[in-house]
Chain A
């Protein structure tokens, strides 16, 4: 049949990349992260790079489920981080004997509930309008946390110290301990996110994103699916907020979870690549490392002129330019770029 010949012509593109099985890369990355990094890294690397990287990666994974997979734009990520961080703080403070894992999960659930509430407009609003309505979450949560001092245990400054991390009596207050804790949380949640997006539910997310009418007609419960995406995404972002406050900054304050943070997480997802789990890690790496590289480079080239004000400004300019570049040249993000390079590399090498 003509069709068969036609179809085979199309196959080459579909051939999966030869070589290692799919789990090989994540497992080797984890091996390095657990075994090599703690031995080699300096305190500076942990405190300034690895811990914020892990927290922001996890937030990126969470937002990617909502925006990348389910197609619902949100500008309220930092609010859900704040809910997670404050919930964990208050649970730890007010519930006697609650283990760290317990307050972590409950903090995630609190963020999920708030996410669900602010996800309700998604049932009627789409795209740009939905993005604007999620801003409400951002401003409301920040306002509530500042206004009601109960949340910060009536602390005068509003900035509170996060309690030391402690699992089963083992204190994790050194940078290595906090790193391993954050790494474990991120690894577990990333694995679960991966399972979710390849499940029926994940397919429903994509179906709702790609064509809502068609999704409804094939029997996808569209409203439930959207709300689930908000809840799951906020759960993960909430836990990322706990890591941000407890493992990285070791303080909790509303100002750390402002609109800038929400945009930062959105940029991570865009730069890394929508609808890829690993994209969030690429994006977060770029966002965390880039300012440090820029400040070193700036200081090296310009010397004293390059003070913190100039640094901040140049960061914004270069980042803005980068985002525009990505949207124009590689809308699928760093993950797609990496994929392409990996696919082309064997061809380029074999040509020699």
Chain B
């Protein structure tokens, strides 16, 4: 009996979904796992979303939506027909194994990658490709999976840089240093100091950011994103490579930031355990498809999620396993 780590067998999911969701049409038990995986998984993978919406009518507005987004790199599909709707003020976690397309979602939302098909709806505006240079002004801030700080600047200056989108003064005005330029400078510094204090980085604010340990750099990146006062905060693996204590701290900061600034948070995480207590909803991705969406408790019970994370016994899967 061999374990397949990422639950690669698509046939198992479609079968499992008929078992897990009562309303899903039954009667496709004979699907062989080695048949055309795409054809099988597609309708099944989409089903939970509609189920979820039916169970919980649209009580809160969507601030961010992905509609039918597909993205591929040289023929390898990173995202396939992804629909995702993020509600105002929630913490939505996107989880999935390596190569599930989690980071691609954030990169599509922030305009780093243009999707092949589909669009992103941001504050009621529809974008084929989100204009990256306007992203901050649209109220979206993000962090990166691998740090994207400015190592040549101090912690304070990195955070102040997060206010770049608010600068209206020309460089001549900044040279002169009074009027509008002065107001902007003081305002940016004050807000940066606030956020730095909020994230307990004050003692380090004059340090060059490149000299800080990794966990703290991650926190500085969060500060740089928060200082922009975003409506939507995209965090790409904010806890990657952290110790358990650091992860808990970071989770605390993310929740505190949402509570204090009312920011909607979309959070990518590799580790399923961390997000369960942190998030309002969890979307699970595997192989570029959304395989589940719901509260952490719902998702945890979802058979396909269990399969994707824990692996499926291939023998069972091929035989009587489907009939569960």
Contact = CB atoms under 8 A, between A and B. Distances in A.
A207 B204 CA distance: 20
Contacts of B171: 196, 199, 201, 228, 232
B160 A14 contact: no
Interface string B152-180: 11000100111011110101001101000
A6 to B, nearest CB: 8
Given A8-B203, A195-B175, A206-B152, 11 more contacts: A2-B245, A3-B200, A7-B201, A203-B157, A203-B161, A209-B152, A214-B144, A219-B133, A219-B135, A219-B136, A219-B137
Interface in B194-243: 200-201, 203-204, 206-207, 211-212, 216, 224, 228
A228 B175 CA distance: 14
Contacts of B148: 211, 213-214
Among A1, A8, A214, A221, chain B packs the most CB atoms within 10 A around the CB of A214
Contacts of B245: 2
Contacts of B132: 213, 216-217
A218 interface: yes
Nearest to B110: A217
B181 A199 contact: yes
Contact of B174 (A199, A213, A215): A199
A74 interface: no
B184 interface: yes
B188 A206 contact: no
Given A206-B153, A210-B150, A217-B110, A14 B200 contact: no
B164 A203 contact: yes
A214 B157 CA distance: 14
Nearest to B107: A213
Given A2-B245, A200-B169, A214 B203 contact: no
Contact of B164 (A3, A207, A211): A207
A1 B248 CA distance: 12
A40 interface: no
Given A207-B150, A275-B152, A13 B207 contact: yes
Interface size range of chain A in the complex: 35 or more
A218 B136 contact: yes
Given A10-B212, A200-B167, A218-B161, A206 B228 contact: no
A200 B164 contact: yes
Interface of B: 110, 112, 132-137, 141-142, 144, 148-153, 157, 160-162, 164-167, 169, 171, 174-175, 177, 181, 184-185, 188, 200-201, 203-204, 206-207, 211-212, 216, 224, 228, 245, 249
B153 A210 contact: yes
For chain A, what secondary structure do more than half of its interface residues adopt (helix, strand, loop), or is it mixed?
helix
A21 interface: no
A13 B211 contact: yes
Which of A10, A217, A275: most chain B CB closer than 10 A? A217
Given A207-B150, A210-B153, A200 B188 contact: yes
A16 B211 CA distance: 16
A11 interface: yes
A4 interface: yes
Given A213-B148, A214-B148, A220 B200 contact: no
Contacts of A211: 148-150
Contact of A204 (B164, B188, B201): B164
Interface string A242-276: 00000000000000000000000000000000010
Contacts of A275: 152
Contacts of B153: 203, 206-207, 210
Contacts of A215: 150, 161, 164
Given A206-B152, A219-B228, A200 B174 contact: yes
A221 B160 CA distance: 15
Contacts of A221: 133
A199 B175 CA distance: 7
Contacts of A1: 200
A4 B199 CA distance: 11
Contact of A201 (B112, B174, B201, B212): B174
Report which residue of A1, A2, A203, A209 has the largest number of chain B beta carbons within 10 angstroms of its beta carbon. A203
B285 to A, nearest CB: 22
A12 to B, nearest CB: 11
B100 to A, nearest CB: 22
A211 B110 CA distance: 16
A328 interface: no
Contact of B133 (A200, A216, A228): A216
A192 interface: yes
